[in-house]
Amino acid sequence: MTATTLPLGPQHPVLVEPLQLKLVLRDEVVQEALPRLGYVHRGLEGLVRRKDFEQMCRVAERVCGICSAIHGMTYCRALEALLGVMPPDRAEHLRVAWSELHRMQSHLLWLGLLAEAMGFESLFMQVWRVREKVMDLLELTAGNRVIVSVNRIGGVRRDVTDRQVQEVNRVLERVERRFRDLEGALLEDRAVRERLLGRGTISSEQALSLGLVGPTLRACGVAQDVRMTGYSAYARGGFEPVTETGGDCLARTRVRFREVLQSAGLVRNALEGLPEGDTSVRVRGKPEGEILVRAEQPRGEVVYYVRANGEKQLERMKIRTPTFANLAALPELLPGLELADVPLVLLSLDPCIACTER
């Protein structure tokens, strides 16, 4: 049978991101897959020539709304290193708490979208109902639900009260209880397992050679997570990444499910051990030199490279986002699968094109 070339996306009922895949099919089986990007390029890195280094913190937060606090924190850590500034311990703990709340809502958003892609509308709404509680905590502690703008060079812009900490702990207990009730439907249901088990499988050797990151890599049994380096307040109490060994769509789902519960514990630890003191220090001078800073986003490792020459505007800012790294797996994952499996395998990577193209 002759091969057929099919463009899938950038607009498709199951695709949640504007990504196009050029698929070569033979009798509904994928022979070759090539991702195509470039639909939402915004030129955010080029704004370093127009905005000063303090204003660029707000730009970094808008690279991606789902993990904006982690983008802002990573940018601020880079500038703090160039300026020789050490944020207060209280600010470092608050950064971890807000980062993990973002990780929770990102994973819950993805789990809901996965359920919807498989046709489980009720499960989708149940997962997002849990996510709404996490969003409420962001609004309670940071004043906003998506782009919270809490980071600043030298610390954070907001503080939390003891009453807010008590409310966060109370809501997190409720979130964990409700989320565990969904485990059977998300991970053990026969229809879910038939759609996910054995689909899009990749070995640990392949994952490492392709440079995959985040839950996509950890689902292959590789215990690699930037939080293990102990940046900010992650060094407190140690950190063990969540891993699975299947390397398929179901394993990636299990990793993100377990990370939701892990992040709830990290939020609780960060707030229970909240040191007394200020939440920021005064920043003087202008940055000079170059620095590379890494952090763990919900989708994996993000890298910020910043170069400054002592002026108010930065000379260069370059971001390597986790989706850009993980898209390299698609030409390896998709060949041999049926066309109906392609949207779910793509979704299992949790792609964020806004992050990737900036």
Which amino acid is residue 109, in one-letter code?
L
Write the DSSP string, 267-314.
HHHHHHT--SS-SB----S--EEEEEEEEEETTEEEEEEEEEESSSS-
| C-alpha–C-alpha distance, residues 315 and 124, integer Å | 44
Q: Examine residue 343 and state whether it is found in any structural domain, yes or no.
A: yes
Q: What is the pLDDT of residue 34?
A: 87
- Asked, for residue 3, whether it belongs to a domain, the answer is no
Three-point CA angle 270, 271, 272, nearest 5° = 95
The band of 1, judged by pLDDT with boundaries at 50, 70 and 90, is: low
CA distances from 223 to 1, 12, 134, 267, 315 (A): 43, 34, 27, 21, 35
Phi/psi for 157 (5° steps) reads -90, -20
CATH of the domain at 191: 1.10.645.10
Q: pLDDT (tens digit, 9 = 90+) per residue, 219-245?
A: 999 999 999 999 998 887 678 999 999
Tens of pLDDT along 122-166? 999 999 999 999 999 999 999 988 889 999 999 999 999 999 999
Q: Is the pLDDT of residue 343 over 90?
A: no
Given this model, what pLDDT does residue 212 score?
95
| Residue 180, in any domain of the structure | yes
Range of the domain at 279: 40-357
Answer whether residue 38 shows pLDDT above 90. no
Size of the chain in residues? 358
Query: Can the peptide bond before residue 13 be classed as cis, meaning omega within 30 degrees of 0?
Result: no
User: Confidence band (pLDDT; 50, 70, 90) for 318?
Assistant: very high
Tokens of 74: 């990573």
Mean pLDDT of 192-196: 92
Q: Is residue 93 part of a domain?
A: yes
Q: Beta 155-156 vs 288-297: how paired, if at all?
A: unpaired
CB distance 165 to 274 below 8 Å: yes
Q: Which residue has the higher pLDDT, 10 or 175?
A: 175
Q: Which residue has the tokens 């990793």?
A: 255
Number of separate domains in the chain: 1
Domain membership of residue 74 (yes or no) is: yes
